[in-house]
Amino acid sequence: MANAPLIAIDLIAEDAQGAVLLGLRNNPPAKGYWFVPGGRIRKNESLDAAFARIARDELGLRVQRNRHRLAGVYEHFYDTNFNGTAEASTHYVVLAYRLRITPEALRLPHQQHSLYQWMHPDRITRHPDVHAYTKAYF
């Protein structure tokens, strides 16, 4: 498994004005950066089940994948991994989805992100603390 990439889903959650929800990461990789919510797909988990679980865990929403648009497939490379150990790098293949949401419906947890904020894409691409992989979605 040390040579296999991980597969993840990132959620580009947009409000009616086009602002995007970002969270300040608590954990590696990308700790200390603003990043869109997301998570790894588990072994033997279907894409639909993974999408529903990640949206529930990261946003507090019950949604279905077929109601949202695939924004693209991306690759993320890190020198460390989600355990924070430098001995093993990480390669993610990421399926990024755009979701139009109502902010009032969100129930945001704080396990992965210490703070949340809404940013418009023009600010995201210029903000020094937004991770480059999140900027790539815009």
CATH number at residue 109: 3.90.79.10
**Omega prior to 29 cis, within 30 of 0:** yes
Question: Sorting pLDDT into bands at 50, 70 and 90, what band is 23?
Answer: very high
Classify residue 1: in a domain, yes or no: no
Question: Sorting pLDDT into bands at 50, 70 and 90, what band is 42?
Answer: very high
Query: What does the alpha-carbon distance between residue 74 and residue 107 come to, in Å, rounded to a whole number?
Result: 27
Q: Average model confidence (pLDDT) for the chain?
A: 93
- Contact predicate 97/69, CB 8 Å: yes
pLDDT greater than 80 at residue 2: no
Give the residue numbers spanning the domain of 99.
Answer: 6-135
Classify residue 50: in a domain, yes or no: yes
Classify residue 112: in a domain, yes or no: yes
Question: Sorting pLDDT into bands at 50, 70 and 90, what band is 3?
Answer: confident
Query: What does the alpha-carbon distance between residue 9 and residue 97 come to, in Å, rounded to a whole number?
Result: 7
Tell me the average pLDDT across 2-15: 92
